[in-house]
Amino acid sequence: MSKKVYSGISVGSRTDTGEIREHNEDSLLVKDPLFVIADGMGGHAAGEVASELAVKAFEKAEIDSLDINTLKRAVAEANIAILRGAQAGLGRMGMGTTLTAAVIEKDSVLVAQVGDSRAYIMQNGELRQVTRDHSLVEELLSSGQITEEEAVNHPNRSVITRALGIDNNIQADTYELRLHDGDRMLLCSDGLNTMLDDEEIESVLLKNPDPQAAADALVEAAKVAGGFDNITVIVININSVDAQSEAKRKRRFIRNIVAFVLVFVLLISAAIGGIYLYAQNSAFLIAENDRVVVYRGLPGDFMGLKFRWIEKTTDISVTQLSETVAGNLKNGIEVGTLDNANKIITDYENQIKKTTR
Could you list the residues that contact Mn ion (CB under 5 A)?
39, 189-191, 229
**Residues facing 294 on adjacent strands:** 285, 312
CB of 98 to Mn ion, least distance (A): 8
Rg, C-alpha atoms of the chain:
41
**Residues facing 120 on adjacent strands:** 129, 186
Q: Output 8 or 115, the one with its CB closest to Mn ion.
A: 115
CB of 80 to Mn ion, least distance (A): 23
Q: Output 110 or 222, the one with its CB closest to Mn ion.
A: 222
| Angstrom distance (rounded) from CA 201 to CA 124 | 15
| Angstrom distance (rounded) from CA 179 to CA 122 | 10
CB of 236 to Mn ion, least distance (A): 20
Q: Output 48 or 190, the one with its CB closest to Mn ion.
A: 190
Give the residue nearest to Mn ion (CB): 39
Starting at the earlier edge strand, list the strands of the sheet with 118-123: 4-6, 9-16, 231-238, 184-188, 118-123, 126-129
CB of 106 to Mn ion, least distance (A): 32
Q: Output 21 or 180, the one with its CB closest to Mn ion.
A: 21
Q: Output 202 or 229, the one with its CB closest to Mn ion.
A: 229
Number of helices (H), then strands (E), belonging to the chain: the values are 10, 16
Q: Output 96 or 191, the one with its CB closest to Mn ion.
A: 191
Torsion angle (degrees, nearest 10) of CA 135, 137, 143, 148: -140
| Angstrom distance (rounded) from CA 296 to CA 135 | 96
CB of 231 to Mn ion, least distance (A): 8
CB of 70 to Mn ion, least distance (A): 27
Residues 6 or more apart whose CB falls under 8 angstroms from that of 220 comprise: none
